[in-house]
Amino acid sequence: MKTTISDIYKGWTISVTAVDNQCSHFSFDITSPSGYSQHVPMGGINEQRAVERAREMIDMEIAMAEEE
């Protein structure tokens, strides 16, 4: 059974799922407040790292949107 945890960061939703994929044990999805979603199949070796990477991606998406 897949275990999923959720978090909210700067208005974005993060969903981390336990799934083995090569050297990664977690994948994650990030969804913006407007509904734009991205899936990362190799999110991290542990749950904490997957959440950290998701937050890094959100920060990058926000920074890129501010530049436009």
pLDDT(56) > 60: yes
Residue 23 has a pLDDT of: 83
Strand boundaries in 1-68, DSSP class E:
4-9, 12-21, 24-31, 37-44
If one compares 56 and 23, the residue with the highest pLDDT of the two is 56
For residues 4 and 2, what is the distance between their CA atoms, to the nearest angstrom? 6
Question: Is the pLDDT confidence value at 1 over 60?
Answer: no
Residue 11's pLDDT is what? 97
Q: pLDDT, tens digit, for every residue of 19-47?
A: 988 889 999 999 999 999 999 999 999 99
Q: Name the more confident of 3 and 26.
A: 26
Measured CA angle at 42 (ends 25, 14), to 5 deg? 90
CA distance 26 to 35: 22
Which DSSP symbol is given to 3?
A: -
Tokens of 35: 């509904």
